Amino acid sequence: MATIDASIVPARPARRTDWLGRSATFCYLAIAAGQLLFVAFILLFYYPSSLSGNFAAWNDKPLIKGFVAGDGAGNLFFAVHVLMAAVITFGGLVQLVPAIRGRWPAVHRWNGRLYLVSAVALALGGLWLTWVRETWLVLAGAIGITLDALLILAFAALAWRAARARRFVEHRRWALRLFAVASAVWFMRVAYMAWGMATGGAGIGKALDGPFDLFLAFASSLIPLGLAELYLRAGAHGTPAAKQGVALLLTFSGLVILAGSAGAWMMMWSPYL
């Protein structure tokens, strides 16, 4: 009777069968749900006003410095910033889908270029809005978002360099780190809502100057980055226990993200549509 040589049977993809892979998929789906709500808000609130030149409509929503009469450059930077915000948020979600990477590599390459350009534009434009237009409430908040911009610029350069050199394992790692820090602005809103719902707003100051505000100014980029790093390390050389621990953490994060995103939609975004 013929026997099957085990070496020619293709191994089942580990990512789909283990808990780490499943929890990462769940966490991605939660992020996708939350980020699609953010994109919907940007498309419905900022696109009509920015593309029609009705910049004054931005101020229907509370902002630190949205439309300012007579500030042509500031208004233009703000308009470009919010238009690009939808591009990067949607583009990042597309970029992470393995089926798209595998089946349509050209989509991955072109969307990747667009993603990198929008990451650099948002980081540099955001730095301009923060420090030149002076759009900040608390200095720690401005420093926190500046750290995020620097991480975006650094990781974008490293992801691009690795892709150019066809070092794809390294490219995937830098790209995931870039996605984590480029999601910080969205994550900050979701985290505020999740924390607010869980604690009634403990540590949130009236001028966003409480202990939780100061923590989140930096944690909004460092928590997603830390989670991405743990996932990468557990996947590459984690013990079974470490993989299970990271899987639990990703599942918990996904649940927090779902709750925070629902809260952000109900309290921060849909009331202005």
**Lookup: tokens for 223:** 């928590």
- What angle (nearest 5°) sits at the alpha carbon of residue 219, between those of residues 183 and 169? 50
Piece in contact with ligand HEM (CB under 6 A), picked from 17-25, 56-64, 155-163, 222-230: 56-64
| Cα–Cα distance measured from residue 174 to residue 162, given in angstroms and rounded to the nearest whole number | 8
148 vs 250, which CB is nearer to ligand HEM?
A: 148
Interface residues for ligand HEM in 65-84 (CB under 6 A)? 65-66, 81-82
* Cβ-proximal residue to ligand HEM, closest one: 126
E strand segments, 42-178 = none
Cβ atoms of 19 and 251 closer than 8 Å: no
Cβ atoms of 152 and 119 closer than 8 Å: yes
The contact pattern for ligand HEM, residues 135-154, with x = CB under 6 A and - = no contact, is x---------xx-xx--x--
37 vs 129, which CB is nearer to ligand HEM?
A: 129
Options 33, 100, 127, 157; binder of ligand HEM; rule CB under 6 A: 127
Cβ atoms of 207 and 137 closer than 8 Å: yes
Interface residues for ligand HEM in 175-194 (CB under 6 A)? 182, 185
Amino acid letter, residue 6: A
| Cα–Cα distance measured from residue 161 to residue 152, given in angstroms and rounded to the nearest whole number | 14
Distance, C-alpha 231 to centroid of its chain: 16
Options 129, 188, 190, 234; binder of ligand HEM; rule CB under 6 A: 129
146-167: buried (b, 16+ CB within 10 Å) or exposed (e) per residue? bbbbebbbebbebbbebbeeee
Q: How many residues of this chain interact with ligand HEM, rule: CB under 6 A? A: 25
43 vs 242, which CB is nearer to ligand HEM?
A: 43
| Cα–Cα distance measured from residue 153 to residue 21, given in angstroms and rounded to the nearest whole number | 28
Options 27, 31, 37, 123; binder of ligand HEM; rule CB under 6 A: 123
182 vs 257, which CB is nearer to ligand HEM?
A: 182
Cβ atoms of 87 and 111 closer than 8 Å: no
24 vs 129, which CB is nearer to ligand HEM?
A: 129
The contact pattern for ligand HEM, residues 16-55, with x = CB under 6 A and - = no contact, is --------------------------x-------------
Instruction: For residue 270, count other CB atoms closer than 10 A to its CB.
Output: 14
Options 93, 122, 180, 219; binder of ligand HEM; rule CB under 6 A: 122
Say whether residue 93 binds ligand HEM (CB under 6 A).
no
Least distance in Å: CB of 101 to ligand HEM?
21
Least distance in Å: CB of 152 to ligand HEM?
6
Q: Which residues, 6+ apart, have CB-to-CB distance to 88 below 8 Å?
A: 115, 118, 119, 122, 182
Which residues are near ligand HEM by CB under 6 A?
42, 61, 63-66, 81-82, 85, 88-89, 122-123, 126-127, 129-130, 135, 145-146, 148-149, 152, 182, 185
